[in-house]
Structure 1
Amino acid sequence: MTHFRISEASSLIGVSDDTVRRWGADGTLDISHDGAGRQVVDGAQLARLAQSLAADVADVGGVRRSARNRFTGLVTKVEIDGLMAQVELQCGPHRVVTLMSSEAAREMQLEIGSKAVAVVKATMVILETEKDTPV
C-alpha cells in the first residue's frame, strides 16, 4: 500500500499542506502515521479525492468532449512568427506549450497573463515512476 507524507500529498493534489491537514481533521482524508511517526495519507484514498475534485471542475457548460486532459493556467509567452504562433501556459507546476496558427492566437486575443485552458487528446502517453519510492 502506497502512503504519502503530507507535503507529498499536497504537492500531488495541488493544495497546501494546511489544506491536507484540515481534510484530515474534518474526516475528508484519513491521516495515519508511518513507522517513523510521520503523518501519511493513503495513496488510493488520495487518488479518489483527486478524481472527485477534478470532476467538480471538469463540467464546462454541459459540453461533451472526448479529450479528458484539461489544464487551466496562465499564458506566460506568446510568440507570433509568420503563419504560426507558439503559446506557453503555466498550469500549476506544469508548463504546457502549444503551436497554433497566428490567426487563431490573434482571434483568441492571447496575451501574457490571460487565462486559458489546454485540452489535450493524446494517443500515446509515457508514464514514469521512481525506482525506489520511500514510504
Structure 2
Amino acid sequence: MKIVSPATRLFTLVCLVLLSAFSFSCNKKTEAGGNSQMISGTASKIWKASRETTASGDKDKLTSDEKKEQIQFFANGNFTQTSESQSANGTWTYSAPNKTLSLTYANNNVSENFTVAELDEDDMKLQAPDGSTLTLKAE
C-alpha cells in the first residue's frame, strides 16, 4: 500500500471541489451577467416572449399576437423586432457588469433600458424600470 502525502490529498480534494463547482455552475443561469454573445449568438439569435409579469409580480397572460412577436439580436449590435403587423429596428448594447440591456430604436431615438435578471443560452429575463418582467426563449 502506497502512502499518500497530506499535500497530495489536499490537492486532490481541492481539484474535486473545483470540478464539482464548475459542473454545477454550468447548469445554472448566470449570476455574473453573462456576455453579449449569449444574447446574439455568433451571428444572430431570435428570441420570443414566453412569460410576462406585472410590476407587482402577478402573471400577465401573453396574447396570441404577443407570442408571435420576436426580436432578433445581431452580433454587430443591430436588432430587428417584428410582429404580424409591425417591424422596428435599431441598435443594442449589453453591459454585463451592470446587467443592463439597452435598445435604441432607429429613426425616432427612443431608447429602452432593461435590467437582465437572468441570462443563459436559451433564456433571458428582462426587468423594466417599472418592475414588470418579460421572459424570452431563444429559438
- TM-score class, shorter: under 0.3
Indicate the structure with greater strand content: 2
After TM superposition, the score normalised by the length of structure 2 is 0.24
Indicate the structure with greater helix content: 1
Q: Which has the larger radius of gyration?
A: 2
After TM superposition, the score normalised by the length of structure 1 is 0.24
Q: Which of structures 1 and 2 has the larger relative contact order (alpha carbons within 8 angstroms, sep 6+)? A: 2
